[in-house]
Amino acid sequence: MVFDAATALIWILYLALFPMAFYWFRRAWKIFIKKDYSEVALKSGLPPANPEKWATVTGVVNIMAGSSAVWIIVGVILYIATGILIGPFSSFDGWNAYAGSTIWLKLIIDFIIKRQAHPIVLGKKKKESTQE
């Protein structure tokens, strides 16, 4: 194996899957087990009006992304160590495509959830009345 820029990027992507999977599983744990909705559908650091509504969807997305990352991590290690295939991990193109797709789909789906949880209000904004 020749160490060049491409090899360095391959290793960076592979090693980045470890903390990403941990982070995604930790977010799912906080949502489902601890019932902490502080990281659900944040927009500009603010949660939506009803974060419980979006918590299940966000938690499921985090579990699926974390599971996909663990599947890639284990699949690459199994193929390199034993030659056992549990997915398309016999070449760089296979696992790299799945890793990249996982990361991009996670970002896109989180963006969609965030936009649905914080709808854009068109028209004039009403002033809140402070009269009692």
pLDDT at residue 84, as a whole number: 83
Q: Tell me the pLDDT tens digit for each residue of 1-43.
A: 677 888 788 889 899 999 999 999 999 999 999 999 988 888 8
pLDDT of residue 49: 87
- The set of residues, in sequence order, having a beta carbon less than 8 Å from that of 94 and lying 6+ positions away, is 87, 88
pLDDT of 45 > 70? The answer is: yes
How far apart CA 54 and CA 114 sit, in angstroms, is 9
pLDDT of residue 116: 92
Q: What is the mean pLDDT of residues 35-64?
A: 91
Structure tokens at 86: 């549990």
Residue 124: count of CB within 10 angstroms of its CB: 6
Closest CA to 116 of 59, 30, 73, 58: 58
The pLDDT tens digits of the residues spanning 99-128 come to 999 999 999 999 999 999 988 878 777 666
**pLDDT at site 92:** 76
What pLDDT score does 128 carry? 63
Supply the pTM of this predicted model. Answer: 0.82
pLDDT of residue 1: 64
